[in-house]
Amino acid sequence: MSLRLGLNIDHAATLRQARYARDADSPWAEPDPVALALVAERAGADGITAHLREDRRHMQDRDIFRLKEVLTTKLNLEMGNTPEIVDLALRVRPDDACLVPENRNEVTTEGGLDCLTHREALAPTIRALRDQGTVVSLFIDPDPAQIRAAAELGAAYVELHTGAFANATGAARDAELRRLAEGAALAREAGLRVNAGHGLNYDNVRELFAVPHLVELNIGHSIISRALSTGLSAAVKEMKLLCRDYKG
């Protein structure tokens, strides 16, 4: 099976909110992340990822419902484990849901979810999502204790946080790549499927291909940035072409 590509559409919504924060539902509000998601699907994206944050800084509730209605691939909803967001997820019924940590003061997600500390809070959310047919993933650092906890909680996937790898250089980068490879192998042994994401771009993604057992990469900022010069369809096709080189 070839390496799948999920496009995170949040940054398109961020651009919209910069001008239309008070009028995001207006017909003239642009860019429309839902329309762009459909362009990405036609270009070969295997799914669309969207993070509905508690502060609604980019994606809005209406965007999520519209995505679920019109997508022909799948909707992967990134979500914090808060009652309001969980309730919305149970109403939307996304194909996939990736539980992530959330800090209102961060620009973007800064690290993996602590499954050990929050085990009791996560368990009922995971059960509720699974019971309605949503495939559950946990966004975690490649730490053995976190991987084991994810398996015990009943997640289907872990999404390994690649931010430390993406931000490191030299020997530190090599060490982070080894951590990811070891984490992926451990996850596979524990019965988990393995996704990866955060900070991945057209330059570093080939290095990540040293990590075994990957099923899907979720990439947003780099593709949306490239789209400003090439167009979204070309940007998605370029990343999909890179993904074909993954041997697993």
Q: Exactly one of 11, 58, 161, 198 is catalytic; name it.
A: 198
Q: Exactly one of 11, 51, 58, 161 is catalytic; name it.
A: 51
- Active site annotation includes 51: yes
- Active site annotation includes 198: yes
d(CA 76, CA 219): 12
Q: How far is CA 181 from CA 6, 142, 161, 196, in A?
A: 20, 8, 12, 11
- Active site annotation includes 58: no
Q: Exactly one of 11, 41, 78, 159 is catalytic; name it.
A: 78
Active site members: 51, 78, 198
